[in-house]
Amino acid sequence: MPPAAEVFIQATDTDPDVQAQRVVEETHRQLLERLAALTEPHEELTTASTEQLRRLLTATEQTLYAAASGAAETRLLIRALRTAASTIGRHADSLTTATDGSERAGAARTLAGMLSVHLGMERAVLLPALRALPGVDLSALVGDFTTVLAGGRLEDPAVVDVRGIPHGQRHPRIFTRFARLADRESFVLVNNHDPKPLRHEFEATHLGRFTWEYVESGPEQWQIRITRVDGDA
């Protein structure tokens, strides 16, 4: 029997996934409240709000989006959410470049409207989808999410050895690691078979943005150097 701390009832307040989802929901609520306060904006408050927004977008990309980007069930959803997040990030610049309070307030109202819809999609669609994906630990993902949101850095191992990880949990771990690479950075994947299905998933989700180099090709162990390429290959 598992320890008492690990016993919970699914879909109740004791469920770690439910608790994790509420952490994200509270983070969204706080940011939207900050933007609403910009109807009578001060420059310092505007700067703090846009910084918080950018940290939120970064944290979401590196954790929640990354884990879902390689799954067939959520691939198109993540593509749409990333497009919207990019638009929101560009619009946030209009807050910092506004020349007076009236212009700043108008930009804040527009941004708050865009963000409200976007975050609503994350809460209503993305989080339940992540909870249903095989191999995804939403509670652990949200732990990483809060770390990045607070300005911390996640552990970025140079070698990702998935041989001891159950098959259904490997791909989310690998895509999450890839999402944290900078341009031209890489990690080495170690596996006990040639991960051709994984390469097909990378081609479907990151076409032209990665390189795949075999360092070792069996028969008992495979090592592949996966490099992020944001510019020209």
- Domain range for residue 103? 4-149
Dump pLDDT digits (tens) for 114-138.
999 999 999 999 999 998 887 778 8
Q: Are residues 35 and 145 in the same domain?
A: yes
How much is the average pLDDT of 33-54?
76
Higher-pLDDT residue of 12, 131:
131
Q: Are residues 133 and 187 in the same domain?
A: no
Residue 3 has pLDDT above 60, yes or no: no
How much is the average pLDDT of 23-39?
85
Confidence band, pLDDT 50/70/90 cuts, at residue 14 = low
Taking the CA atoms of residue 14, residue 18, residue 21 and residue 23 in that order, the dihedral angle to the nearest 10 degrees is -10
Q: Are residues 130 and 187 in the same domain?
A: no
Whether residue 199 is contained in a domain is answered as yes
DSSP 15-59: -HHHHHHHHHHHHHHHHHHHHHGGGS--HHHHHHHHHHHHHHHHH
Q: Are 139 and 19 in contact (CB under 8 A)?
A: yes
User: What distances in angstroms separate CA 112 from CA 8, 107, 122, one per listed residue?
Assistant: 36, 8, 15
How much is the average pLDDT of 63-88?
90
Q: Are residues 125 and 207 in the same domain?
A: no
How much is the average pLDDT of 57-86?
90
Q: Which of 24, 3, 5 is nearest to 131 (CA)?
A: 24
Mean pLDDT check: name the lowest of 18-32, 168-182, 194-208.
Answer: 168-182
Q: Rounded distance, CA 84 to CA 114, Å?
A: 9
Q: Are residues 14 and 91 in the same domain?
A: yes
* pTM for the whole structure: 0.75
Q: Residue 105: which H helix or E strand, with range?
A: helix 101-121
Whether residue 233 is contained in a domain is answered as no
Q: Rounded distance, CA 175 to CA 65, Å?
A: 9
**Strand boundaries in 45-194, DSSP class E:** 159-161, 186-191
pLDDT at 140: 83
Domain count, the chain: 2
Q: Rounded distance, CA 173 to CA 170, Å?
A: 5
Residue 228 has pLDDT above 70, yes or no: yes
Dump pLDDT digits (tens) for 158-194.
999 999 988 877 887 888 888 778 889 999 999 999 9
Confidence band, pLDDT 50/70/90 cuts, at residue 40 = low
How much is the average pLDDT of 11-31?
85
Whether residue 34 is contained in a domain is answered as yes
Beta strands at 222-228 and 186-191: parallel, antiparallel or unpaired: antiparallel
Residue 45 has pLDDT above 70, yes or no: no
Whether residue 54 is contained in a domain is answered as yes
Residue 233 has pLDDT above 70, yes or no: no
Q: Are residues 111 and 141 in the same domain?
A: yes
In this structure, what DSSP letter does residue 181 have? P
Q: Are residues 89 and 17 in the same domain?
A: yes
pLDDT at 115: 94
Whether residue 154 is contained in a domain is answered as no
Q: Are residues 136 and 58 in the same domain?
A: yes
Q: Rounded distance, CA 107 to CA 96, Å?
A: 10
Q: Which of 137, 140, 45, 130 is nearest to 95 (CA)?
A: 45
Mean pLDDT of the residues in the chain: 85
